């Protein structure tokens, strides 16, 4: 029995969901998303609730049941409320600037790093004197915003000794003690 897959999804007002030929399309005030669904998974739309069903009790079908229910739920939440991610650049001289859909960062390398941001993501960079620069991304697509945030973080991961690097706001970095001078 799937605890996640059996939960119904409530469809808020202003959201339109269609399911045909194995594709679920969700349209709302913030945008439009679509997702291919495995043939073993069925989607039943009844008024303002959506339920996901599976054809058999195979292990893979049970796994897909919960997966696709979560993906559809994320799509519904994304087109109504949207998703927001904030990352901070911790380090001396680290900077971030946005020009159109290009994020320019100085992360302590000998050159600046330019990242092309997809059009579905609204990005801003905020620099306040005395604080770390913060890059804020907003989108209706949870998968896309997570992928872009992971790509930006991978450019300079936080290191455990001084904590320098790109990290999510509120993320805790486990710190290590440095070498102790032995005499």
Neighbours of 117 (CB within 10 A): 19
Residue 181 pLDDT level (bands cut at 50, 70, 90): low
**Max intra-chain CA distance, the chain:** 76
* Within-domain flag for 164: yes
For 65-104, write each residue's pLDDT tens digit: 999 999 999 999 999 999 999 999 999 999 999 999 999 9
Q: CATH no. for residue 73?
A: 3.90.930.12
Does residue 61 sit in the same domain as residue 111? no
pLDDT tens figures, 106-144? 999 999 999 999 999 999 999 999 999 999 999 999 999
Instruction: Examine the domain organization and report whether 133 and 163 are in the same domain.
Output: yes
Same domain, 21 and 91: no
One domain, residues 89 and 163: yes
Q: Is residue 163 part of a domain?
A: yes
Q: What is the pLDDT of residue 183?
A: 55
Residue 45 tokens read as 């739309």
Closest to 41 measured CA to CA, from 6, 76, 79: 6
Helix (H, G, I), strand (E, B) or coil at 74: helix
Whether 91 maps to a domain, the answer reads: yes
- Residue 2: pLDDT over 80: no
pLDDT digits (tens, 9 = 90+) for 43-63: 999 989 999 999 898 999 989
Mean pLDDT, rounded, of the chain: 92
Q: What pLDDT does 182 receive?
A: 55
Q: Is residue 150 part of a domain?
A: yes
CA dist 5 and 125 (Å) reads 38
Give the structural domain span for 146. Answer: 83-168
CA 89, CA 106: separation in Å to the nearest integer?
Answer: 9
Residue 124 lies in a domain: yes
Q: What is the pLDDT of residue 178?
A: 83
pLDDT at 1 over 60: no
Are residues 71 and 91 located together in one domain of the fold? no
- pLDDT tens sequence across 5-38: 889 999 998 999 999 889 999 999 999 999 999 9
């Amino acid at each position: 029995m799937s605890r996640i897959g059996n939960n119904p999804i409530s469809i808020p007002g202003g959201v339109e969901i269609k399911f045909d030929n194995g594709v679920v399309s969700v349209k709302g005030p913030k945008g439009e998303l679509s997702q291919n669904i495995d043939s073993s998974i069925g989607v039943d739309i009844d008024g303002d609730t959506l339920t996901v069903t599976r054809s058999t009790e195979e292990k893979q079908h049970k796994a897909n049941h919960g997966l696709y229910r979560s993906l559809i739920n994320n799509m519904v939440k994304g087109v109504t409320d949207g998703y927001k991610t904030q990352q901070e650049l911790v380090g001396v001289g680290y900077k971030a600037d946005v020009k159109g859909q290009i994020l320019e960062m100085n992360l302590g390398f000998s050159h600046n790093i330019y990242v092309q941001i997809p059009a579905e993501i609204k990005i801003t960079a905020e620099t306040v004197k005395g604080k770390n620069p913060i890059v804020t991304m907003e989108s209706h697509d949870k998968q896309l915003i997570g992928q872009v945030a992971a790509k930006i973080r991978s450019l300079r991961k936080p290191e455990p000794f001084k904590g320098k690097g790109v990290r999510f706001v509120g993320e805790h970095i486990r710190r290590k003690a440095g070498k102790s001078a032995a005499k």
